[in-house]
Amino acid sequence: MNKLLGYIFTPLQYLVYGLSLVIFHPLQWLCLKVGGYTAHKKCVDILNFFLVSSFYFAGTRVSFKNSYDLPVNRSIIFVANHQSMHDIPPLIWYLRRYHAKFISKIELTKGIPSVSFNLLHGGGANIDRKDAKQSIMELMKLGQRMKENTWSAVIFPEGTRSKTGEVKSFNTGGVAALLKKVPDALIVPIAIENAWKFVRYGNYPLSFGEHLKFTVLEPIEPKGKSVDEVVITAENLIRGKVNGA
């Protein structure tokens, strides 16, 4: 039934999603030119509200649970598992007050309305996976911007998306590079559930009636801990939540 209804409603979801990207592309440009970073960020936040809302046209709801009082005057490194491209809009929307920046493939900076513009001008890191030196330099630049502006970052240490929902082993490189610039950043794990089910049949049809869940887990203070210890702790927390679902 999920697949059958997906054939019917996926075109509607894609229409709303695509229109949002096209409409907000010139709006982003205008906001950046007229109001600088602040106006541009608000525009991106609103865009992602509409992108998240588009999921409902595919019968899919999104919930974000945070039981912790996270600081807004301190940089945060949000560490999450990665299940699909649909992980991104909810994270941007629900973490908007923390100025969370993303680490993206450099290929995405061209050709995608709204998305490419934001990647080029939003303050995140755009890395070339074939160039280790460039990747590290981009991460260090992001860390410096986090330090100067009290921004935060979202990182997916698995590297590639999990197509089955199973949490893969986390890499430490990205977190290590950011902590070199912002050693006092708070590490906050986020467990993502069911996003892989949304695309279990591929990009078409989307699986109708799924429930994408985002859960903020216990923050980790990095002081006095090695990067390996911090990342393994975050991985275990996320794995325990996802596997226990």
Domain hosting residue 123, numbered range: 2-243
Residue ranges, the chain, pLDDT below 70: 245
Here the CATH number for the domain that contains residue 113 is 3.40.1130
Report the pLDDT value the prediction gives residue 165, as an integer from 0 to 100.
86
Report the pLDDT value the prediction gives residue 173, as an integer from 0 to 100.
93
User: How many separate domains does the chain show?
Assistant: 1
The CA-CA-CA angle for residues 106, 112, 116, to 5°, reads: 50
CA dist 202 and 199 (Å) reads 5
CA dist 73 and 157 (Å) reads 24
Report the pLDDT value the prediction gives residue 161, as an integer from 0 to 100.
82
Q: What is the pTM of this model?
A: 0.95
> What strands lie across the sheet with 100-105, from one edge to the other?
61-65, 211-216, 186-193, 76-80, 152-155, 100-105, 125-127
